[in-house]
């Protein structure tokens, strides 16, 4: 396993290209299972999760060809039983369930894995597919869905923490080939859901309302091939914006879409970070001083849970007391103990973290527990005095394309080493 060695204290300066969105590309790749014709997806990030999804599609029988940031997929003939060892390693792989069910009328997929950030059941996925007419069973670690015919239906997919992004994607994909009309209430509104709907419509689907809580799918008999470009990764953009602020630098985020980042940009502004919107980029730099800010994570368009850890790293550097409340995943504070190793003063009270900021952080060995925690520790290490070693960065490689390389181009003293 690799680790990152970071010698902190250097302000980041320059321009960074924002990659395609990891949370968008995985469902897009799964959607290619809905047609026998070839599909081309552009701006695909080079991530371990993307490679895993490619392996899963190949195991199912699809032909996957990659050239640069373009992936061509043709699923002429596929099987409905996914490999246990592949699927269990990545939560996003569960989104093959809906397309396989729609095309083959049966699918068996193992219960998914991924980052350990709290309970993330797929009950809403199964509820939606059952509403379309599927019979669902769970045995020996597998979810099996069978249906002679899928029929459109009204359904409510709201859960304890709000809407489900992957659940909305799964049901939406299955509904494209169902007979009749499907209306999903409390659908996820994330840009990644809109991106998937745009791709499906380009394939011949009839989807309206994407990006709103009410999403309507009129089923069609078949879908065809299409070409699509993945949206920029809003979480990667937010991460580099926070890194620029934490190091008192100035960074241009090329390709970032401000309309996907309203909540993050609002909190950065409140914290004393200036963000200038330009034609094709965002310029981020700190004002004279940082201000303590309270944050509560919420479903889109609220503050994203995937930026909570990174923003907490920024608040550890900010004089005053800030409170970060996690409303999406109950175990997403595993980075707190590692930030404490660097000198942060953070206390957990229920769903909230109370940060007494302003202390100077100092480098130390830390352990990444999940994808976004890894990014938070990198940001803290960039701002800390001395050397920080971030271990288990395979988590980071799941969602950030060549992060160490991009940071070096911004002036960071960072190198990847084998543990």
The confidence band for 114, taking pLDDT boundaries of 50, 70 and 90, is very low
Give the model's pLDDT for residue 224. Answer: 98
Radius of gyration of the chain (CA): 21
Distance (Å, rounded) from C-alpha 329 to C-alpha 207? 29
Q: Could you report the per-residue pLDDT of 59-77, keeping only the tens digit for each?
A: 999 999 999 999 999 999 9
Distance (Å, rounded) from C-alpha 237 to C-alpha 306? 12
Distance (Å, rounded) from C-alpha 265 to C-alpha 272? 11
Residues 240 and 383 placed together within one structural domain of the fold = yes
Domain boundary among 196, 229, 262: 229
Give the model's pLDDT for residue 119. Answer: 41
What is the CA angle 318-320-321, rounded to 5?
105
CB count within 10 Å of CB 354 equals 15
Give the model's pLDDT for residue 271. Answer: 98
pLDDT exceeding 70 applies to what percent of the chain?
96
Give the model's pLDDT for residue 332. Answer: 85
The confidence band for 116, taking pLDDT boundaries of 50, 70 and 90, is very low
Residues 41 and 164 placed together within one structural domain of the fold = yes
Single out the residue of 124, 42, 115, 52 nearest to residue 85, CA to CA: 52
Residues 84 and 35 placed together within one structural domain of the fold = yes
Q: Find residue 295's DSSP bridge partners.
A: 324
Give the model's pLDDT for residue 161. Answer: 77
Joined together, the tokens standing for residue 7 give: 């010698």
The length of the chain is 419
Domain boundary among 229, 255, 290: 229
Residues 405 and 285 placed together within one structural domain of the fold = yes
Torsion, Cα of 207, 212, 213, 218 (10° steps): -10
Q: Could you report the per-residue pLDDT of 209-267, keeping only the tens digit for each?
A: 999 999 999 999 999 999 999 999 999 999 999 999 999 999 999 999 999 999 999 99
pLDDT exceeds cutoff 80 at 291: yes
Give the model's pLDDT for residue 113. Answer: 52
Residues 184 and 241 placed together within one structural domain of the fold = no
Give the model's pLDDT for residue 191. Answer: 98
Distance (Å, rounded) from C-alpha 107 to C-alpha 127? 15
Residues 195 and 50 placed together within one structural domain of the fold = yes
Return all residues near 61 (Cβ < 8 A) that are at least 6 apart: 75, 76, 77, 78, 79
Distance (Å, rounded) from C-alpha 380 to C-alpha 388? 9
Q: Could you report the per-residue pLDDT of 374-404, keeping only the tens digit for each?
A: 999 999 999 999 999 999 999 999 999 999 9
Residues 178 and 247 placed together within one structural domain of the fold = no
Domain extent at residue 293: 2-19+232-418
Distance (Å, rounded) from C-alpha 119 to C-alpha 305? 14
Distance (Å, rounded) from C-alpha 274 to C-alpha 284? 6
Joined together, the tokens standing for residue 168 give: 């909305």
pLDDT exceeds cutoff 50 at 323: yes
Give the model's pLDDT for residue 1. Answer: 80
Q: Is 380 helix (H, G, I), strand (E, B) or coil?
A: helix
Return all residues near 16 (Cβ < 8 A) that are at least 6 apart: 240, 251, 252, 253, 254, 406, 409, 410
CATH number at 257 reads 3.65.10.10
Joined together, the tokens standing for residue 259 give: 């309309």
Give the model's pLDDT for residue 230. Answer: 98
115 in catalytic set: yes
Strand order in the sheet with 346-349: 295-296, 320-325, 352-357, 346-349
Q: How many domains does the chain have?
A: 2
Give the model's pLDDT for residue 267. Answer: 98
Single out the residue of 205, 195, 97 nearest to residue 144, CA to CA: 97
Domain boundary among 185, 212, 229: 229
DSSP states along 106-163 = EEEEEPP----SS----HHHHHHHHHTT-EEEEETTEEEEE-S--B--EEE--BTTB-
Distance (Å, rounded) from C-alpha 34 to C-alpha 100? 7
Residues 198 and 211 placed together within one structural domain of the fold = yes
Name the active-site residue from 39, 95, 115, 189: 115
User: What average pLDDT is seen over the chain?
Assistant: 94
Give the model's pLDDT for residue 91. Answer: 66
Give the model's pLDDT for residue 83. Answer: 73
Distance (Å, rounded) from C-alpha 53 to C-alpha 86? 8
Range from 30-34, 136-140, 214-218, 299-303 carrying the lowest mean pLDDT: 136-140
Across the range 299-314, mean pLDDT stands at: 97
What is the CA angle 119-124-128, rounded to 5?
165
Residues 310 and 411 placed together within one structural domain of the fold = yes
pLDDT exceeds cutoff 60 at 118: no
pTM of the model: 0.95
């Amino acid at each position: 396993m690799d680790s990152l060695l970071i010698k902190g204290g250097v302000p980041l300066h320059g321009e960074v290209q924002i990659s395609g969105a990891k949370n968008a590309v995985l469902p897009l790749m799964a959607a290619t299972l809905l047609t026998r014709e070839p599909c081309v997806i552009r701006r695909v990030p080079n991530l371990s999760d993307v490679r895993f999804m490619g392996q899963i599609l190949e195991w199912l029988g699809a032909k996957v060809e990659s050239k640069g940031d373009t992936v061509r997929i043709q699923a002429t003939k596929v099987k409905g039983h996914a490999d246990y060892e592949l699927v269990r390693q990545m939560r996003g792989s569960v989104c093959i369930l809906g397309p396989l069910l729609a095309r083959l009328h049966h699918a068996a997929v193992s219960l998914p894995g991924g980052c350990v950030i709290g309970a993330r059941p797929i009950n809403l996925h199964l509820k939606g597919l059952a509403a379309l007419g599927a019979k669902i069973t769970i045995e020996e670690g597998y979810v099996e869905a069978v249906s002679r015919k899928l029929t459109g239906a009204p359904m409510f997919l709201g859960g304890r923490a709000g809407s489900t992004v992957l659940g909305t994607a799964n049901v939406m994909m299955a509904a494209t080939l169902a007979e009749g009309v499907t209306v999903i209430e409390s659908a996820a509104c994330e840009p990644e859901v809109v991106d998937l709907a745009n791709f499906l419509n380009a394939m011949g689907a009839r989807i309206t309302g994407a990006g709103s809580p009410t999403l309507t799918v009129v089923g069609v008999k078949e879908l065809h091939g299409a070409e699509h470009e993945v949206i920029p990764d809003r979480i990667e953009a937010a991460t580099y914006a926070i890194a620029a602020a934490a190091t008192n630098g100035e960074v241009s985020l090329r390709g970032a879409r401000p309309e996907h980042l309203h909540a993050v940009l609002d909190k950065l502004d409140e914290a004393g970070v200036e963000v200038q919107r330009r034609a094709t980029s965002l310029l981020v730099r700190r004002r004279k001083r940082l201000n303590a800010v309270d944050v509560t994570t919420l479903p889109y368009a609220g503050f994203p849970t995937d930026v909570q850890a990174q923003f907490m790293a920024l608040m550890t550097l900010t004089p005053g007391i800030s409170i970060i409340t996690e409303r999406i995943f109950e175990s997403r504070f595993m980075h707190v103990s590692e930030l404490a190793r660097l000198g942060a003063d953070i206390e957990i009270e229920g769903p909230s973290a109370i940060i007494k900021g302003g202390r100077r952080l100092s480098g130390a060995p830390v352990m990444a527990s999940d994808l976004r925690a890894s990014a938070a520790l990198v940001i803290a290490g960039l701002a800390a005095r001395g050397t920080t070693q971030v271990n288990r960065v395979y988590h980071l490689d799941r969602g950030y394309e060549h992060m160490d390389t991009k940071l070096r181009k911004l002036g960071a003293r960072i190198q990847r080493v084998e543990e």
